[in-house]
Structure 1
Amino acid sequence: MRKQLSDKQTVLLFLLYFAGYLLVHQAVLMPFARKTLPAAADTVSIIGMIVILCVSILIILPNVYEEMEDFRRRCSFILMTSVRNLTGMLIGWLAAARVIGADTAVNPAGNVVNASLVFGAVIFAPIMEEIIFRGCLFERIRRKTGNIISAVISSCIFALLHIMFMIPASQNIMILFFLIYTLMGIFLCRCAFRSRNLISSCIVHAAYNLLMTVLMTL
């Protein structure tokens, strides 16, 4: 991201993601919706994610305009950076698939493909997670520790939050996916830093998740 987010923006975004999404939406709202309104649970989930995403974008709206204008000016370079980093992530996934099998590598948590999963994987997560982990965490830590340490720390946190949703998978699978998600996070940090534009890492994240979602349906 070309302009660092302010302390106020960062705090509000953290509250929205960690308290609003992970705690209220995922841990409270969705279990309640699946129990009381199972037919509407998908809709409730998507509406919740849209609200969180829209509020997050409003918080950083000036930054969004700046990123979009920069993307328009340097579109070719940013897209090439995205392609290179996406290729690296896919090579890492293929290596993991050879070890644990393609089915497990695609869907380690055994999720059912539905509308909310597709929306969350292809739209919500790529935007929200890039804002939080690359736009906020990586950039803030980087200014104090440098690129490598910041990429590793922010990517490890990114990985820990992802493997939380894999419980009760085996310990070996969780360790392997911690490494996979950490590597994925590092590639996304590299993409955001090299391009100096968060849209680049959003594109890579969305493309990777879209491919995994398509493979889950095969």
Structure 2
Amino acid sequence: MKPFTLSRRRVQLILANYFVGYLFVYPMLIGLLYSLLEPLGIKHLQPILENAVYLWVFAITVTAAWPLLKEHLQRFRRNRRTIIKSSLTRYVQMWLVMYGLNLAIILITGLSSSQNQDTVVQQLTQSPLQIMLVTCVFAPIVEETVFRGAVFTTLRSRTCFRNAALISGFLFGLLHVFTSLLSGNFSDCIFILVYGTMGYLLCAAEEENQTLLSPLFMHGLNNLISVVLILL
């Protein structure tokens, strides 16, 4: 099937909104607005500003990627049973691979979890509803649209699967240790292997099923199970 790709302008908007806005500019704006509005005594100001950013990033990402999302949704509807079955099988395979990698990291380095995972655990105890929505809804939709929909799909139209998936997977892995690197915690770099492998396997799911709904489903299911296990 001929790959459906977004226009260059839409891809640039998605990438700028996420990599420049979400990771750098919007957090600075939150800090600035908080310093200006905090003296007014507005209750729950910090989560209000954070949720506003989540909604903005989500809206821009989905709007810019809508032609691609619409096409992939139609592909899913035409073959939903086969895609769901394939996605579940690939999820089990992905979980086993990631479990093995995490176990190897524990045995070799003694690190049991990444800073990204520790942060999620901490935030779940403070704002469970907000973090559940961010982890199980925002992250799967936005990250899959960015890393598989914009990055992988665009690269795949120009090169082989392996090259496109490796680049997409590496960027996905780098994202999940980004905060650690900014704080100088370079020991977390080992977890690029775990998250990068996950990203690569999510690319493989899209390649096999020819729809973004497959990795999106797998990503959401993985995060949901992780959150439930943490809360238990």
Residue-pair matches, total: 216
> What does 1:82-161 correspond to in 2, within 5 Å?
82-99=87-104, 100=106, 104=113, 107-109=117-119, 111-113=122-124, 114=127, 115-161=129-175
Closer, same or farther in 2 for the Cα pair 1:144/1:68, shift >3 Å? closer
- The reply to whether residue 166 of structure 1 matches residue 175 of structure 2 is no
Residue 41 of structure 1 deviates from its aligned partner by 2.0
- The CA deviation string for residues 14-50 of structure 1, in whole angstroms up to 9 with x for no partner, is 121122211223x314445676367232232222212
1:127 and 1:202 in contact (8 A); partners too: yes
Residue 216 of structure 1 deviates from its aligned partner by 2.5
Closer, same or farther in 2 for the Cα pair 1:67/1:21, shift >3 Å? same
- The CA deviation string for residues 57-111 of structure 1, in whole angstroms up to 9 with x for no partner, is 2223233222222211110111122112211221123224434389626924464
Closer, same or farther in 2 for the Cα pair 1:88/1:12, shift >3 Å? same
Structure 2: give runs of 5+ residues left out of the alignment.
none
Which has the larger Rg? 2
> What does 1:1-218 correspond to in 2, within 5 Å?
2-25=3-26, 27-32=27-32, 36=38, 39-99=44-104, 100=106, 104=113, 107-109=117-119, 111-113=122-124, 114=127, 115-167=129-181, 168=183, 171-172=186-187, 174-218=188-232
Structure 1: give runs of 5+ residues left out of the alignment.
none
Residue 132 of structure 1 deviates from its aligned partner by 1.2
RMSD: 2.6
Residue 56 of structure 1 deviates from its aligned partner by 2.1
2:102 and 2:194 in contact (8 A); partners too: no
Closer, same or farther in 2 for the Cα pair 1:144/1:34, shift >3 Å? same
2:69 and 2:212 in contact (8 A); partners too: no
Closer, same or farther in 2 for the Cα pair 1:38/1:89, shift >3 Å? farther
Closer, same or farther in 2 for the Cα pair 1:206/1:169, shift >3 Å? farther
Using structure 1 for the length normalisation, give the TM-score: 0.86
Closer, same or farther in 2 for the Cα pair 1:71/1:60, shift >3 Å? same
Alpha-carbon separation, structure 2, partners of 1:42 and 1:102: 30
Using structure 2 for the length normalisation, give the TM-score: 0.81
Alpha-carbon separation, structure 1, partners of 2:186 and 2:18: 27
Which has the bigger relative contact order, CA under 8 A and spacing at least 6? 1
Q: Name the aligned partner's letter for residue 195 of structure 2.
A: Y
Residue 116 of structure 1 deviates from its aligned partner by 3.2
Bigger Cα displacement from structure 2, 53-62 vs 176-185: 53-62
Q: Name the aligned partner's letter for residue 113 of structure 2.
A: T
2:140 and 2:220 in contact (8 A); partners too: yes
- The CA deviation string for residues 128-172 of structure 1, in whole angstroms up to 9 with x for no partner, is 111111111112222333001111111111111210123448544
Bigger Cα displacement from structure 2, 64-73 vs 124-133: 64-73
